[in-house]
Amino acid sequence: MGLGRLGDKILDTRAAAAGPAAGLGIVETYLARLHEDLSGLGSGEVATYIPELGRADPELFGICIATTDGQLYTIGDADHEVTIQSVSKPFMYAAALETHGRDRVLDQVGVEPTGETFNAIVLDEDTNRPFNPMVNAGAIATAELMCGPDPASAAEEMRRYFSRFAGRELSIDEAVFRSEHETGHRNRAITWLMLNSGMIERDPDEVLDLYFRQCSVLVSARDLAVMAATLAAHGTNPMTGDQVAAPDTVRDVLSVMSSAGMYDYAGQWAFDVGLPAKSGVSGLVAAVVPGQLGIAVYAPRLDPVGNSVRGVEACRRFADRFGLHVFGERSDPGQVIRRAYTAAQVQSRHVRDPREVDVLRQEGGRFAVLELQGMLSFGAVERVLRRMREMPDAVETVALDCRRVAMVDAGGLELLRQIMTVGRGPRLLLAEVAHRPALQPLADLAAEPGAEGLVELVGDVDGALEAFEDAVIAEAGAQADAGRFTLAEQDIFARLDADEIAAMETVAAVLSYDPEQVIVQTGDEAQAFFVVAQGTVSICVELGEGRRRRVASIGPGQVIGEMALLDGGPRSATAIADGKVMCYAFTVAAITEMSDRHPRIMEKILGSIVHSLSLRLRRANAELQALE
């Protein structure tokens, strides 16, 4: 596959120095604050042992995050191009593994951390191999494996391979290459030592030419974040879809990055940050969150070990704030949203009359539901927030259905907390959270200062949908008359003439029920049906051990137990009064007896029932299509 274009997948926050600005999303706002906080960090010195690197502006500072599904977040000088330097080493190592296989590469380069500086002139005394491919000796030995028939073709092959990782055509900075070539005496000493020990066989100048050129490839923090995200995505470039490296290759590369990618700081980095990473003396740092994202930082001031001072601190804070340590809990963030719909597509279980349904279809777009699953990690919540941001401006409320959420980690919780920091966007409802210990942090979040009006707990999505529907219908003045008492106004009897209505009135029993009183019970013999004249009734299925689940809520004009007229079998559900309820009750025997005098009553009532069932079936089909 070709390199492709980044196109619409990029979200760019270039107003670096301005701090958090109106219009930024949650992740961008956090990055803007992080950038602002660290911009005052002035310790460290720009590398000067390569003269061209010493020309860098020490105040340049850019950050980029690239997710495994192709989203980019940038701040500051993320598009400023510099030479990749030692951050090239993981990608050249990947090329060697892909070309020669693991065993051949291990013959030439080990995988043990050294405890030495990155440019130490030292080899493993037992094997004569360089200790690992992340230090100069190992990278030079790796470069020998990739030398082609001539230096020019090898350099071009290397450039193309790096470009596939970046998702665009990269180039080589010839001025930096010449500077390295003229001053790289220590690297020459390393190369001649390996030639003397038999670890390399090619002309040292030819090997060094390729090594110096790989270090001189120009990239920005944006490019490097995409390269890191390609490793995070098991070798597939998230921008182009190009399978650049095999998953096994990526596993080996990340393993060595974890143990040796940050020079003599690697052990402390693994302890504090816990992410596979690589730094370079130009001021670049790249880190990988497997399965989720890549992070790249450019800031040329270096600490004594050779790592970017701001780059290390930015990664440390980011990983700590969002719980990204590689040994923390992990799940696939790409599967977090099980389905999404609005109240215009799927209504609550409260059965509405046609006029109310019309209003909901027009206004239901103001309420959206996201059904979530798995673990709410940083990567998962980032996808949720991104989906929210992509919603139309008309969306006022988003309900997160957490029934299938197993847990929320520190990163996911912190990213949700940023909603209160930003203080804008749709109101967020957290459903199915209460009384679940694993989700207690979400419940606590809704109780934090600043959450009011932004984050709220609700029992379940159905109840939240019903409350929204009631408010919208009332706002439109389309609510059904809660006080309909007359038989003639009931939908089930709409087809009867005046004489037939009068006959029905003679056999109707008017019954009243108190809140929570059972009207019909699952398993009872169905001898009568009921028409709700006032109030609402919940239809529930029994789950055993005293537990019930509401499957519908019906109001005036709706029928309870109409199947009694069709088959007379046992009740399949329980009907419970939500509040004060008044019903008309009709026994099947009474209606059957009047058939001699009014032979079409049963036919007309059954016709109304069939019509009602048809409407419900159509609604159910529409909801199923919306939930696909």
CA distance 272 to 262: 12
* Pairing assessment for the beta strands 455-458 and 427-431 based on DSSP bridges: parallel
Alpha carbon 487 to its chain's center:
53
Q: Which one is catalytic: 30, 161, 211, 584?
A: 211
256 contact partners, CB below 8 Å, separation of at least 6: 90, 93, 111, 132, 133, 134
User: What are the CA-CA distances from residue 419 to residues 45, 383, 422, 450 (Å)?
Assistant: 37, 14, 5, 9
327 contact partners, CB below 8 Å, separation of at least 6: 274
The reply to whether 211 belongs to the active site is: yes
Q: Are 96 and 107 in contact (CB under 8 A)?
A: no
Q: Are 203 and 216 in contact (CB under 8 A)?
A: no
Q: Which one is catalytic: 219, 281, 285, 433?
A: 281
Alpha carbon 500 to its chain's center:
60
Alpha carbon 301 to its chain's center:
33
Count of C-beta atoms within a 10 Å radius of residue 514: 9
Q: Which one is catalytic: 263, 265, 298, 513?
A: 263
Number of H helices, E strands in the chain: 20, 22
List, in sequence order, every beta strand (DSSP E) within 13-165. 62-67, 72-76, 82-83
504: tokens are: 């029905």
**In the 8-state DSSP scheme, what is residue 368?**
E
CA distance 437 to 407: 9
Torsion angle defined by CA atoms of residues 353, 357, 358 and 361, in that order, rounded to the nearest 10 degrees: 180
Q: Are 417 and 105 in contact (CB under 8 A)?
A: no
The reply to whether 9 belongs to the active site is: no
Give the phi and the psi of residue 183 in degrees, each rounded to 5: -115, 0
The reply to whether 281 belongs to the active site is: yes
Give me the DSSP letters along 161-211: HHHHHHTS--EE-HHHHHHHHHH-HHHHHHHHHHHHHTS--S-HHHHHHHH
Q: Are 469 and 348 in contact (CB under 8 A)?
A: yes
Count of C-beta atoms within a 10 Å radius of residue 124: 16
Q: Are 110 and 131 in contact (CB under 8 A)?
A: yes
113 contact partners, CB below 8 Å, separation of at least 6: 131, 132, 259, 260, 266, 267
Instruction: Give the residue from 481, 515, 507, 524 showing the smallest Cα distance to 584.
Output: 507
- What is the residue whose two structure tokens read 């597939």? 236
Q: Which one is catalytic: 27, 86, 265, 581?
A: 86
Q: Are 270 and 134 in contact (CB under 8 A)?
A: no
The reply to whether 553 belongs to the active site is: no
- So which residues are the catalytic ones? 86, 89, 211, 263, 281
